[in-house]
């Protein structure tokens, strides 16, 4: 495999900038541009209120991503546990605020944006697991007792997010955590046992689910039974997608979204808008770009010389791909409606920031592929 990064960590800023994964950056910018176009169209051909704001956020978060990428991965390694604790505290703050009369909410208002700690927590959990598994040997990974602490690392935030309540995010943290176990070399039997446990927990989980969550699942099972009621979103989304056909209705011509038949067109259902207007060509292009990004992340993870970077790069790639796949599967009616945004494209500050943090960390892994992180 050809080398792209740099071997020494102490390089000048400019040479580091040069050494960034520009191919990945170009892919990211392309996807983000698709998002801007879609948001411009969602506002019926206007930059306000969404596209302009999204572009500004992207610019700021992009700069942040570059900074994150340039910082040596060993620093991220060193502060991982701190981040984890901070993340937990933020989740607790949200939980407590909800209890002291501000109503159930998932975010902290920072003034310029509303921060959803749970979004950041997904990243931090990956970092923490990578940190924990970094020093583990294959033998460690086969020891059940060794695997209890990472389970705690996963379940603490999952529990807090469940309390919010945010079923989608909890499931995603669980899934990413599972993948981290997998890539770190845990026995296959653990997964078989885990899947069995999840299946067993479904009836119990159903019991604890909120009514609107139960309704979403039921709606998913038969969306067209109630096209004007709860199944409305899925049905309208499928109509919009299908009516796009191969070549799409044309830019700014998507009637389902323009006439507001499509719900949440600027956030969760933005893929629908894009594929309605640009058809199978546009939809496949976007899926292809995401595919290339995941492939690139995979290559980064293979190239890394130590476990932390390997696990982190792949784990973050899985995190992003879960967003992408679950969001698109949802708008296509393949899974229940869960509030998961499409990274880089959906309107929203936290998801944009979270995605670019992920890419920044990955690029840091890539650039400092052989950085000696302390044991």
Which residue ranges make up the site for other proteins (CB under 8 A)?
137-139, 179, 182-185, 236, 238-246, 255-256, 258-261, 275, 279-280, 283-284, 287, 290-291, 294-295, 298, 301-302, 307, 310-311, 314, 317-318, 321, 324-325, 328-329, 332, 334
What is the DSSP-derived secondary structure letter of residue 23? H
State in angstroms the smallest separation of the CB of 305 from other proteins: 9
Nearest residue (CB) to other proteins, 275 versus 354: 275
Nearest residue (CB) to other proteins, 61 versus 286: 286
Query: CB of 364 within 8 A of CB of 345?
Result: no
Query: CB of 303 within 8 A of CB of 295?
Result: no
State in angstroms the smallest separation of the CB of 167 from other proteins: 20
DSSP string spanning 60-120?
HHHHHHHHHHHS-HHHHHHTHHHHHHHHHHHHHHHHHHIIIII-S-S-EE-SSSEE-HHHH
Nearest residue (CB) to other proteins, 194 versus 291: 291
Residue 181: other Cβ atoms inside 10 A: 20
State in angstroms the smallest separation of the CB of 51 from other proteins: 21
State in angstroms the smallest separation of the CB of 332 from other proteins: 5
**Ranges assigned E (strand) in the chain:** 108-109, 114-115
Query: Which residue, 242, 309, 314, is CA-closest to 276?
Result: 242
State in angstroms the smallest separation of the CB of 186 from other proteins: 9
Nearest residue (CB) to other proteins, 117 versus 254: 254
State in angstroms the smallest separation of the CB of 126 from other proteins: 13
Query: Which residue, 370, 364, 375, is CA-closest to 313?
Result: 364
State in angstroms the smallest separation of the CB of 94 from other proteins: 30
For the chain, the first-to-last Cα distance in angstroms comes to: 27
State in angstroms the smallest separation of the CB of 152 from other proteins: 23
What is the DSSP-derived secondary structure letter of residue 343? T
Please list, in sequence order, all residues whose beta carbon lies within 8 angstroms of the beta carbon of residue 346, skipping any fewer than 6 positions away.
35, 266, 267, 268, 270, 327
Nearest residue (CB) to other proteins, 127 versus 186: 186
Nearest residue (CB) to other proteins, 66 versus 316: 316
Nearest residue (CB) to other proteins, 200 versus 288: 288
Tokens of 324: 């992408």
d(CA 273, CA 109): 29
Query: CB of 160 within 8 A of CB of 88?
Result: yes
Nearest residue (CB) to other proteins, 324 versus 365: 324
């Amino acid at each position: 495999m050809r080398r792209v990064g740099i071997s020494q960590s102490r390089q000048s800023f400019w040479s580091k900038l040069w050494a960034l994964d520009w191919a990945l950056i170009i892919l990211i910018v392309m996807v983000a541009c698709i998002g801007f176009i879609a948001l411009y169209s969602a506002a019926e051909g206007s930059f306000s209120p969404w596209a302009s704001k999204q572009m500004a956020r992207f610019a700021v978060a992009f700069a942040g991503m570059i900074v994150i990428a340039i910082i040596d991965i060993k620093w991220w390694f060193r502060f991982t546990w701190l981040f984890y604790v901070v993340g937990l505290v933020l989740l607790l703050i949200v939980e407590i605020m909800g209890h002291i009369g501000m109503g159930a909410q998932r975010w902290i208002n920072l003034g310029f944006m509303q921060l959803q700690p749970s979004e950041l927590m997904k990243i931090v959990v990956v970092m923490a697991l990578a940190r924990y598994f970094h020093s583990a040997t294959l033998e460690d990974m086969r020891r059940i007792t060794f695997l209890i602490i990472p389970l705690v690392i996963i379940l603490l935030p999952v529990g807090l997010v469940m309390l919010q309540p945010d079923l989608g995010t909890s499931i995603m943290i669980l899934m990413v955590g599972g993948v981290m176990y997998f890539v770190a070399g845990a026995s296959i039997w653990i997964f078989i046992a885990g899947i069995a446990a999840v299946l067993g927990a479904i009836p119990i989980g159903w019991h604890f689910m909120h009514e609107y969550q139960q309704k979403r699942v039921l709606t998913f099972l038969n969306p067209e039974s109630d096209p004007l009621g709860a199944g409305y979103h899925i049905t309208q989304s499928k109509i919009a997608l299908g009516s796009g056909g191969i070549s799409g209705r044309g830019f700014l011509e998507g009637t389902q979204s323009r006439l507001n038949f499509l719900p949440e067109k600027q956030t969760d259902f933005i893929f629908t808008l894009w594929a309605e207007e640009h058809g199978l060509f546009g939809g496949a292009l976007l899926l292809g770009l995401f595919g290339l990004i995941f492939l690139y992340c995979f290559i980064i993870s293979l190239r890394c010389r130590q476990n932390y970077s390997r696990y982190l790069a792949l784990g973050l790639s899985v995190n992003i791909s879960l967003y992408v796949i679950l969001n698109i599967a949802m708008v296509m009616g393949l899974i229940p409606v869960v509030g998961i945004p499409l990274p880089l494209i959906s309107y929203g500050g936290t998801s944009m920031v979270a995605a670019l943090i992920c890419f920044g960390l990955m690029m840091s892994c890539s650039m400092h592929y052989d950085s000696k992180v302390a044991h």
